[in-house]
Amino acid sequence: MPDRTPYIAANWKMNKTVAEAAEFVDALLPRIAATQCDVVLCPSFIALNEVVERRRGTAVRVAAQNMHEAESGAFTGEISAAMLVELDVEAVVLGHSERRQYFGETDEALARKVPAALAAGLEPILCVGESAEARAGGETETVLERQLQADLAGVEPADLAGVVIAYEPIWAIGTGATATPEQAQDACAFIRDVVGMRGAAADRIRILYGGSVKAANAAELLSKPDVDGALVGGAALDPEEFAGIVEAAG
Report the CATH number that the domain containing residue 140 is assigned in CATH. 3.20.20.70
> Is 38 inside any structural domain?
yes
> Is 216 inside any structural domain?
yes
The residues facing 207 across adjacent strands are 165
Q: Is the pTM above the cut of 0.85?
A: yes
pLDDT > 70: percent of the chain: 99
Of these residues, 69, 90, 96, 105, which one is catalytic? 96
Residue-wise pLDDT for 65-110, tens only, equals: 999 999 999 999 999 999 999 999 999 999 999 999 999 999 999 9
Closest CA to 5 of 243, 159, 208: 208
Its domain, for residue 154, covers 7-249
Confidence of residue 177 (pLDDT cuts 50, 70, 90): confident
Compute the average pLDDT of residues 39-45: 98
Closest CA to 186 of 151, 135, 250: 135
* Least reliable range by pLDDT among 183-192, 196-205, 207-216, 237-246: 196-205
68: annotated active-site residue: no
Contact 123, 92 (CB under 8 A): yes
Helix extents (H) in 121-213? 132-136, 140-151, 181-197
> Is 233 inside any structural domain?
yes
Continuous segment of H or E residues that includes residue 165: strand 164-167
Closest CA to 184 of 161, 211, 160, 205: 211
> Is 2 inside any structural domain?
no
CA 28/CA 92 separation, integer angstroms: 21
CA 213/CA 190 separation, integer angstroms: 20
Domains: count for the chain: 1
Residue-wise pLDDT for 204-237, tens only, equals: 999 999 988 999 999 999 999 999 999 999 999 9
> Is 1 inside any structural domain?
no
209: three-class secondary structure by DSSP = strand
Give me the pLDDT at residue 206, please. 97
Give me the pLDDT at residue 2, please. 58
> Is 197 inside any structural domain?
yes
96: annotated active-site residue: yes
CA 115/CA 120 separation, integer angstroms: 9
